[in-house]
């Protein structure tokens, strides 16, 4: 156990907090207060994602377990937030299915490629990083669901960005499948 791995575990622990905010009694927190709390928790969890990677590289504390747990924590956090947003009626089921389905498909693809010794063929690239960054901005905007700076609609911007993230999700999934197919042909 090291500090980067501890931060990743904190991100996992934040998942029930983000979901649980909406289960609190109405007299404890109003809906706008719940929205703000969930958005802030999601942003803090996202910051731990960046910070744990930074510290792992800086302090040379990378580990096989940390490399496994980090993307799992990210996928769980995003999936939980998307399910909350779906339940709240702030996103459509197709967008949630595209994003969550892609994560499952690519995780399975990476595992399979690792089994056949071709894991480098589907290593994370810039397209996946842009997709992740886009959804990590969209989700807290959708959770917040209020006005930004008194004039901008967080829901509108979050919805627009999540649609972009869904398009990038499909594009990146096709890209990874293409890379995997090329990797399979090389190993034959």
Q: 27: which 2 tokens?
A: 């007299």
The mean-pLDDT minimum among 21-25, 35-39, 125-129, 156-160 falls in 125-129
Q: In whole angstroms, what separates CA 95 from the centre of its chain?
A: 13
Over pLDDT 90: what percentage of the chain?
54
Q: Give the residue carrying structure tokens 């063929």.
A: 121
The radius of gyration of the chain's CA atoms, rounded to the nearest angstrom, is 18
- Indicate the pLDDT class of residue 121, thresholds 50, 70 and 90: low
Listed by start position, the domains of the chain span: 3-187
What is the CATH class of 3-187? mainly alpha
In this predicted structure, what is the pLDDT of residue 44?
A: 94
Distance CA 111, CA 122 (A): 10
pLDDT of residue 187: 57
Name the packing angle between helices 64-87 and 3-20 (round to 10°).
Answer: 10
149: left (phi over 0), alpha (psi -120 to 50) or beta: left
pLDDT-based confidence at residue 185 (cuts at 50, 70, 90): low
Q: How confident is the model at residue 129 (pLDDT cuts 50, 70, 90)?
A: confident
**Residue carrying structure tokens 């994370």:** 124
State mean pLDDT over 51-71. 84
pLDDT tops 90 at residue 61: no
Mean predicted confidence (pLDDT) in 35-39: 96
5 closest CA partner among 74, 55, 80: 55
For 145-167, letters b (16+ CB in 10 Å) and e give bbeeeeeeebbebbbebbbbbbe
Kind plus residue range of the DSSP H or E element containing 147 = strand 147-148
- CA-to-CA dists, residue 87 to 15, 30, 63, angstroms: 16, 17, 36
Nearest to 94 by CA among 142, 158, 165: 165
Residue 119 has pLDDT above 80, yes or no: no
């Amino acid at each position: 156990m090291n500090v980067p791995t501890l931060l990743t575990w904190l991100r996992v622990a934040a998942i029930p907090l983000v979901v649980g905010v909406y289960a609190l009694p109405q007299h404890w927190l109003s809906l706008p207060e719940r929205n703000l709390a969930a958005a802030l928790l999601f942003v803090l969890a996202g910051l731990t994602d960046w910070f744990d990677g930074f510290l792992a590289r800086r302090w040379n504390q990378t580990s096989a377990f940390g490399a496994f747990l980090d993307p799992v924590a990210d996928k769980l956090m995003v999936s939980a937030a998307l399910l909350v947003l779906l339940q709240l009626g702030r996103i459509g089921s197709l967008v949630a299915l595209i994003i969550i389905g892609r994560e499952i498909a690519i995780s399975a693809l990476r595992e399979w490629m690792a089994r056949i010794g071709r894991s480098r063929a589907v290593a994370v690239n810039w397209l996946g990083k842009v997709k992740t960054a886009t959804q990590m901005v969209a989700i807290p905007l959708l959770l917040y669901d209020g006005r930004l700076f008194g004039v901008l609609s967080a829901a509108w911007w979050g919805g627009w960005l999540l649609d972009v993230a869904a398009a990038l999700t499909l594009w990146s999934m096709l890209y990874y499948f293409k890379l995997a197919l090329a990797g399979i042909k090389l190993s034959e």
